[in-house]
Amino acid sequence: MTDRPDLAALIGSRICHDLIGPIAAIGNGVELLAMSGAPQSPEMDLIASSVAQANARVRFFRVAFGVSAAQTVGRAEVREILADMAGRVKIDWAVPHDLTRAETKTLFLLIQCLETAMAFGGTITVDGARSLRAEARRLRDAAPQWAILEGTSSDVTATHIHFALAAEEIQAAGGTPRIEVTDTSIRLTY
């Protein structure tokens, strides 16, 4: 039987579904405390910021690791998820239109691949349905992981699973990953 369900993606979807409720509840609790007149404190700010980051990451993971059903993901929704994840790496979603969930999933996995090489910060620009670039003052050497994406290595760990999953998604879309790395930039296309 060739139409087997993607069990790993179903697990990813389930975990994200189960986590979003408790994270939202913590966020609601922080809001209720603020509305009750509790004084604003650095601790409450830290909790609120952490909840927002966790919520954004779970929403990102739901697309990256979840089931890619035959539906579209709106450009506005993608930009909102990425803006909420703001940190050392800034992500600019410059795709001018909505994409399918499968296309968005692949790009989110590739964003994670680029983040792996950008431990010191920088900017990722998604400029097309099959095109991303990263720029940073300094990049981490990720040659072993790029080999996973290119299919020339099967040395996959849990820390770098997104490289293997991105490779599978690219192959399923009929593409071949192309990676151009310099000292300060990375270009990914497929």
Q: What is the pTM of this model?
A: 0.87
Q: Which is it for strands 131-135 and 122-128: parallel, antiparallel or unpaired?
A: antiparallel
- Range of lowest pLDDT (6-15, 43-52, 70-79): 6-15
Q: Got the DSSP string for the chain?
A: ------HHHHHHHHHHHHHHHHHHHHHHHHHHHHHTTPPP-HHHHHHHHHHHHHHHHHHHHHHHHS---S-EE-HHHHHHHHHHT-SSEEEEE---S-EEHHHHHHHHHHHHHHHHH-TT-EEEEEEETTEEEEE-SS----HHHHHHHHTS-----GGGHHHHHHHHHHHHTT---EEEE-SSEEEEE-
The pLDDT, as a whole number, for residue 71 is: 87
Write out pLDDT tens, residues 98-122: 999 999 999 999 999 999 999 899 9
Q: Cα separation of 79 and 104, whole Å?
A: 11
The pLDDT, as a whole number, for residue 14 is: 86
Q: Which whole number is the average pLDDT over 10-18? A: 84
The pLDDT, as a whole number, for residue 109 is: 97
Write out pLDDT tens, residues 132-189: 999 999 999 999 999 999 999 989 999 999 999 999 999 999 999 999 999 999 999 9
Amino acid at residue number 102 = A
- Range of lowest pLDDT (39-43, 62-66, 77-81): 39-43
Q: Which whole number is the average pLDDT over 54-73? A: 88
Closest listed residue to residue 20, CA positions, set 72, 100, 81: 81
Residue 131 pLDDT grade (very low, low, confident, very high; cuts 50, 70, 90): very high
The pLDDT, as a whole number, for residue 100 is: 94
Q: Cα separation of 109 and 60, whole Å?
A: 10
Q: Cα separation of 13 and 15, whole Å?
A: 6
Closest listed residue to residue 187, CA positions, set 153, 157, 146: 146
Query: Residue 51 above 60 pLDDT?
Result: yes
The pLDDT, as a whole number, for residue 1 is: 45
Q: Which superfamily does CATH assign the domain made up of 74-190 to? A: Histidine kinase-like ATPase, C-terminal domain (3.30.565.10)
The pLDDT, as a whole number, for residue 2 is: 56
Q: What are phi and psi of 147, to 5 degrees?
A: -65, -35
